[in-house]
Amino acid sequence: MSIDTLRKQLAMWKFQSDRIVFTNGCFDILHAGHITYLEQAASLGERLVIGLNSDESVKRLKGMSRPIMPHYDRALLLAALHCTDAIILFNEDTPENIIHQITPDILTKGGDYQINQIVGADFVKSYGGQVQTIPFVNGYSTSAIIDKICKI
């Protein structure tokens, strides 16, 4: 979704008193750990909005060999999940700008983050929103999957 389309959708959801949950990530090579995390994030509210790092953003964060899958493919896979209500692509290294524009009720990241490390946490808390971590699913890692494939 474009930010303008998302804002209109958010206004409708908020009018219905739906709680908006926001999370973000690269989601390169979608795996069971991602699915478990996203389902748990969605269960915190009525609507799950996913901020997806663009290809350019992933390259800056993960290196020139990433992403494995282009952002349109990653977005299509995420959109197919029953727990996903909206996806917004961002080019920056962090979703700070998106978070300020959508003002989610709940901001969440995986348990490998501390609350004080979550981008946008102070902003969300400033208007009474919640910031939560979701336990990390051990044994799942995109980098580990890539390493395993490279050894074949």
Do 23 and 38 meet the contact criterion of CB atoms below 8 Å apart?
yes
pTM above 0.95, yes or no: no
pLDDT at 138 > cutoff 80: no
Kindly report, residue by residue over 51-61, the tens digit of the pLDDT: 999 999 999 99
Domains of the chain are 3-10+18-151 (3.40.50.620)
Tell me which residue of 135, 107, 108, 151 sits closest to 33, measured CA to CA.
135
pLDDT at 49 > cutoff 90: yes
Taking residue 80's Cβ as centre, other Cβ atoms within 10 Å add up to 9
Percentage of the chain modeled with pLDDT above 90: 80
6-34 per-residue burial string, b: 16 or more CB within 10 A, e: under 16: beebbeebeeeeeebbbbbbbbbbbbebb
Rounded to whole angstroms, what are the CA distances from 70 to 52, 53, 57, 148, 149?
11, 10, 11, 20, 18
User: What confidence score (pLDDT) does residue 1 get?
Assistant: 86
Kindly report, residue by residue over 31-46, the tens digit of the pLDDT: 999 999 999 999 999 9
Phi, psi of 67 (to 5 degrees): -80, 160
User: What confidence score (pLDDT) does residue 83 get?
Assistant: 98
User: What confidence score (pLDDT) does residue 100 get?
Assistant: 97
- Residue 150 banded pLDDT, cuts 50, 70, 90: confident
Terminal CA-to-CA distance of the chain, rounded, Å?
Answer: 37
Per-residue pLDDT, averaged over 71-93, amounts to 97
